[in-house]
A = this chain, B = another copy of it.
Amino acid sequence: MRTLVIAAALLAAPALAAEPAATYPPTPSEIVAAAPQSEWVAIDPKDLLVMTLAPDTAGRERKVVIQLIPRPFSQTWVTNIRTLAQAHWWDGLAIVRAQDNYVVQWGDPDGEDKAKARPLPADIRPTSEAEYIDHPRFGPPHVFKILPTPVLEDAYAPLTTFEGGFPVGRDGRDRWPVHCYGSVGVGRDVSPNAGTGAELYTVIGHAPRHLDRNIAVVGRVIEGIEHLSTLPRGTEALGFYATPAERTPIVSVRLVSELPKAEQPKFEYLSTETDTFARYANARANRHDAFFIKPAGGVDVCNVPVPVRRVPAG
């Protein structure tokens, strides 16, 4: 693992090498770095949430940025999440659960207790598990651009690919967003309850793909996930915290579009419908840089994280 540092140093100073440096096909990150600006897609500020947690024990700021999933997926929950953020509904609530190799979850610690639960805004819409997938009932199916990569073998779906910047599964009729590291989903009660969007979780371990089509995926963490993934694990069943003092308070959750213009962080992602993305995915499946001796010849959809970057203010 250490060699990656060494390899980077060699690349930075090739003139110092005594012998001609070995050449390798571009690495995944080199491919992304060379993408033209035209292949990057600006994320709409209405699709960005900033969750501010209470400062850590050293007093450092903790902000987590979440990108909401675009149409046609999970839009009723996404609408509810915007409503909740605009109502400042999460302010003063907390991270309630951290289960190792699984999820960190936040919402109303008293949500199960009708007498104490924080009331939801009046305009929260009813949701349905039918919307875990997209099929013609929700509009004409998109034409998929199947990548010329081996991102196709999967135990959980006949086919996995990317659409609109998000990993998706599909079969002959339907498509659905999948759970990867950093995915954000909607906590819910037993079926047919499909959750409102008020209780959310993010994945902090190996992709729990068995949740696909069983829970609404509504977005992903694009910055600051370390503020969630490093939280102390809860000691109760499922990683719930045993005492209120262990919970991390949420200072606020805001839609970026509601922030003053000057304070709006800007992000963009590498379009998953481009040749660059296909080459990037292929390079993830066939590592030929100096460190690798045996390219896998394949990759799973969750090992092809969609490149996202912050646009410098200016």
Contact = CB atoms under 8 A, between A and B. Distances in A.
Contact of A155 (B5, B209, B225, B299): B299
Prevailing SS type, chain A contact patch: loop
Given A181-B205, A287-B210, A190 B226 contact: no
Given A2-B188, A201-B1, A214 B181 contact: no
Which of A232, A240, A292, A296 gathers the greatest number of chain B CB atoms within 10 Å? A296
- What number of copies of this chain does the assembly contain? 2
A238 B292 contact: no
Contacts of A291: 190-191, 214
A63 to B, nearest CB: 15
Contacts of A105: 1
Interface in A87-131: 97, 100-101, 103, 105, 111-112, 129
Interface string A268-301: 0000000000000000110100111111101110
Interface of A: 1-8, 57, 97, 100-101, 103, 105, 111-112, 129, 132, 150-156, 180-182, 185, 187-191, 193, 199, 201, 205-210, 212-215, 225-226, 229-233, 237-238, 240, 284-285, 287, 290-296, 298-300, 302-303
